[in-house]
Amino acid sequence: MQNPIARFAPQLTGEYPNQFMDLFNNLNIHEKEDPERIKKMLWGAYSFGSHYHEHQQRQSGRPYFEHCLAVGKILAGWNMDHVTVIGGLLHDTVEDTEVTLPMLEEKFGDDIARLVDGVTKLGDIKFSSRKAKQTGNIMKMLLSVAKDLRVIIIKFADRLHNMKTIRHLSPVKQRRIAIETRDVYSPLAHRLGMATVKWELDDLVFSTLNPAMFKEIDANLKSTFKQRNRYIKEFSKPIKDELAIHGITAKIYGRPKSHSSIYQKMIKRGKEFEEIFDIVAIRIVVDTADQCYLAMGIVHQMFVPIPERFKDFVASPKMNAYQSIHTTVVGPRGRKVEIQIRTHQMEQTAEIGVAAHWRYKEGGQYKAEIDSHMRWLRELVDILQGESSDPSEFMHLLKIDMFNDVIFVLTPAGDLIQLPAGSTPIDFAFQVHTEVGLHCMGAKVNKAIAPLNTKLKNGDAVEIITSQNQTPHYGWLRFAVTSKARNNINRHLRKIRYSESLKLGGEILEKTLRRLKQYELVKQINESYRKLGYKSKNDLHVAIGDGTIMIRDILKKLFPAEVEQISDKVEKIHADDSFINLARGAAKGVKLQGISNLMVTFGKCCSPIPGDELVGFVTRGRGITLHRADCASLPLLDEDSDRIIPVDWDVGKNETFNVKIKVVSQDRSGILKEISEAISSEEVNISSVDLQTRDNIVTAYFVVQVRDIKQLERVKRRISKIKGIDYTERTVRD
Ligand code: MN
């Protein structure tokens, strides 16, 4: 580099670093694109990435950015579009540097930011080998977290390079990563039709996990290489000549077999090296599908085919899009030759599978993202359909991808939890462990404290804060979605309700009889639970406590004669058994789901009336205060959401509720009278009026007694029609 400016701003002088030019020259740019524009973009990413990764090193001691560059080069080698390549260059910036998503978004746009975000999220997932057995599940999760197949492709490039440089890691880490690659990435590569990637990964895994055997096979492959190569040439020459006579230019070459596939064959078929190495594999690549069949005919004319080894994946491609004709013939000196015949395009697809859709051959169309998104989804579903033997599993899968009814979230350890869409941290907690759910106190979503009713999203990392003193609350039922959570909460609440009713029932029995001056009957009643139809004394008390059975009825049944004498007293006590009602918390106008033994009062801050959405707030020691759901004085849900309980209105016909309305109007004579008449005309009583006049403007506060929100609305509408009224509103101001 002669020009010093080039060191800092090569885009000005055109003197870019060699490594950058390497990458750029590898980039397959579509003819419709402007190479200079893409070069600028690529340089932007290159300089950005190398700047932020500066001073970072890999375990090997090499600069960190070399890894990012290698990932970019792998992607370029797969002919991915420049967006994906740039995503590869930047894939570790958010995870490992101070770069944030908004920074990427601003500098490189949504598309690239989303790719990096996806790769970052996948990076948080740790696959335990136990779960790895359910490849289908992991597939679903990867897709739903990744949202974009390109994220997975970048992840594969990342994994491939990490595997290539794995020797620099500690033996323990090497093993863990190799096993994860074997159990997760390799099967996925297969399903996605990424044959070359799978091949490379398998061999890297093999050499990591079984280096001795790998070396042995390697040595054998090398020592037989020359001999085998000579044989391939001898075999191919006449075929090539014959094809040329028919006007077909074919590429014929010996197909290398992976070390791991050789080893698999040795194990599966119990064969020795010699037998396996004796088989030669070649590939014939031609231009068109027709030529594939022509070439096949020529080969079969020249050499005897083994019929049962013939397969036509050109006419009926594999579900992972793989296409090829497979045939095995008997070659010179009786050696078996495995032959694959395919076109150049099939060759590319076999290399990278479904990812081939992001190649530049798609031209300007890759921006039609929705269309391609749907297409790959359909194709993936096809792939999975082909591999899944269980149709119901497939339908489920289809449903998940199409209707998005399932999300995957992560535990702090990186394990995956599958939940129905709309699930909250409560659901997550019970899914992790019943004990975690029962003592769930709060949650962190993506490391930030979040309300327990937060709806979780795909890829969220969730951490549950527990406390031994915490127990489930009725409020949880408002946002628990999974049956596991709901069942557990309900079971726990039933238990609590049972013990509360039990205590209350005993008290009601004793107090009532004491007031009737019949206290001595308590013992007999307690012993007569069977006659009353209960299995135990406790069950009887619970029934009394929750109001299933009245003391009056018990007395009538057990002591009809005695009750006759004191019947007046009994009826009277039940007529005004306010203390029982109070004890049961049967507050006027509301019904509490499941809670019948707490004190209930209306919040003065918001004066709820029927029609308002109600919530009950459990005040320790003072029972429950009812508020409008949107009351400003309610504590923030995230702090105390466990103390918010669902409440329903349950009003009698003639009950009324006080509500305050504010009316602002011009000051003119008779205005107050007109407003009062308007209110009365809706058969609404006025409890109080408060007036202020200033600068010819009247502000009036009316406390009125309404049945419900509808009646209040009618009142407001009527007032607004009065001449000179500025506005009228419900208010909570004192
Ligand atoms: Mn990486």
HEC string of 259-279?
HHHHHHHHHHHCCCHHHHHHC
Domain assignment present for residue 367? The answer is no
pLDDT interval class at 124 (50, 70, 90): low
At what angle are helices 18-26 and 35-52 packed, to 10 degrees? Answer: 130
In angstroms, what is the span from residue 39 Cα to ligand 1's centroid? Answer: 23
> Which pLDDT value is given to residue 642?
54
Question: Residue 136 belongs to what H/E stretch?
Answer: helix 135-146
Coarse DSSP helix, strand, coil percentages of the chain, rounded to the nearest 5 percent: 55, 15, 30
- Same domain, residue pair 570 and 617: no
Give the range among 140-154, 364-378, 649-663, 664-678 with minimum mean pLDDT: 364-378
**Residue 308 is among the residues annotated as catalytic for this protein:** no
Q: Quick: pLDDT tens for 134-151.
A: 555 565 566 655 567 788
Count: domains in the chain: 5
Residue 223's domain comprises 219-357
Domain assignment present for residue 425? The answer is no
pLDDT beyond 70 at 696 = yes
> Which pLDDT value is given to residue 376?
47
The one catalytic residue in 54, 95, 369, 683 is 95
Domain assignment present for residue 417? The answer is no
- Same domain, residue pair 202 and 255: no
> Which pLDDT value is given to residue 402?
37
Region label for 152, one of left (φ > 0), alpha (ψ between -120 and 50) or beta (otherwise): alpha
- Same domain, residue pair 37 and 93: yes
- Same domain, residue pair 227 and 197: no
In angstroms, what is the span from residue 686 Cα to ligand 1's centroid? Answer: 72
Q: Quick: pLDDT tens for 432-480.
A: 899 999 988 888 888 888 888 889 987 788 999 888 777 887 778 888 8
- Same domain, residue pair 199 and 109: yes
Q: Quick: pLDDT tens for 268-316.
A: 777 777 777 777 889 999 999 999 999 999 999 899 888 878 888 888 7
The one catalytic residue in 15, 22, 33, 96 is 96
In angstroms, what is the span from residue 200 Cα to ligand 1's centroid? Answer: 17
Name the domain boundary from 210, 243, 267: 210
Give the range among 135-139, 213-217, 230-234 with minimum mean pLDDT: 135-139
CA dist list (Å): 466 to 74, 114, 428, 462:
45, 33, 13, 13
Q: Which of 178, 172, 180 is nearest to 132 (CA)?
A: 180
- Same domain, residue pair 55 and 202: yes
pLDDT beyond 50 at 486 = yes
Greatest mean pLDDT among 263-267, 335-339, 503-507, 581-585 lies in: 335-339
Instruction: Give the Cα separation of 139 and 509 in Å (integer).
Output: 61
Domain assignment present for residue 320? The answer is yes
**Residue 726 is among the residues annotated as catalytic for this protein:** no
> Which pLDDT value is given to residue 367?
39
In angstroms, what is the span from residue 66 Cα to ligand 1's centroid? Answer: 10
pLDDT beyond 80 at 377 = no
> Which pLDDT value is given to residue 163?
95
More confident residue, 264 or 355: 264
> Which pLDDT value is given to residue 211?
94
More confident residue, 67 or 569: 67
> Which pLDDT value is given to residue 336?
87
In angstroms, what is the span from residue 90 Cα to ligand 1's centroid? Answer: 9
Q: What is the mean pLDDT of residues 549-557?
A: 82
Domain assignment present for residue 143? The answer is yes
Q: Considering the chain, what is the average pLDDT of its residues? A: 79
> Which pLDDT value is given to residue 397?
39
In angstroms, what is the span from residue 28 Cα to ligand 1's centroid? Answer: 23
Question: Residue 649 belongs to what H/E stretch?
Answer: strand 644-649
Question: Residue 348 belongs to what H/E stretch?
Answer: helix 344-352
- Same domain, residue pair 251 and 280: yes
> Which pLDDT value is given to residue 653?
64
- Same domain, residue pair 502 and 625: no
pLDDT interval class at 430 (50, 70, 90): very high
- Same domain, residue pair 549 and 612: no
> Which pLDDT value is given to residue 718?
92
Domain assignment present for residue 409? The answer is no
- Same domain, residue pair 600 and 571: no
User: Residue 242's domain is classified under what CATH number?
Assistant: 3.30.460.10
> Which pLDDT value is given to residue 387?
47
pLDDT interval class at 573 (50, 70, 90): low
Name the domain boundary from 357, 383, 409: 357
In angstroms, what is the span from residue 52 Cα to ligand 1's centroid? Answer: 14
> Which pLDDT value is given to residue 125?
66
More confident residue, 255 or 352: 255
In angstroms, what is the span from residue 142 Cα to ligand 1's centroid? Answer: 17
Domain assignment present for residue 431? The answer is no
More confident residue, 110 or 33: 110
> Which pLDDT value is given to residue 75?
92
Q: Which residues neighbour 86 within 8 Å (Cβ) at sequence distance 6 or greater?
A: 41, 42, 45, 72, 108, 112
- Same domain, residue pair 263 and 342: yes
pLDDT beyond 60 at 598 = no
User: Residue 96's domain is classified under what CATH number?
Assistant: 1.10.3210.10
pLDDT beyond 80 at 19 = yes
In angstroms, what is the span from residue 263 Cα to ligand 1's centroid? Answer: 30
More confident residue, 156 or 598: 156
Complete DSSP assignment for 212-238:
HHHHHHHHHHHHTHHHHHHHHHHHHHH
More confident residue, 76 or 189: 76
Domain assignment present for residue 201? The answer is yes
Complete DSSP assignment for 419-484:
EETT--HHHHHHHH-HHHHHTEEEEEETTEEE-TTPPP-TT-BEEEEE-TT----TTHHHH--SHH
Kindly tell me the sign of the dihedral angle through the C-alpha atoms of 100, 106, 112, 114. positive
Q: What is the mean pLDDT of residues 553-560?
A: 83
Instruction: Give the Cα separation of 263 and 260 in Å (integer).
Output: 5
pLDDT beyond 90 at 87 = yes
- Same domain, residue pair 509 and 551: yes
Q: Which of 148, 232, 252, 162 is nearest to 200 (CA)?
A: 162
Name the domain boundary from 630, 649, 668: 649
Question: Residue 591 belongs to what H/E stretch?
Answer: strand 590-592
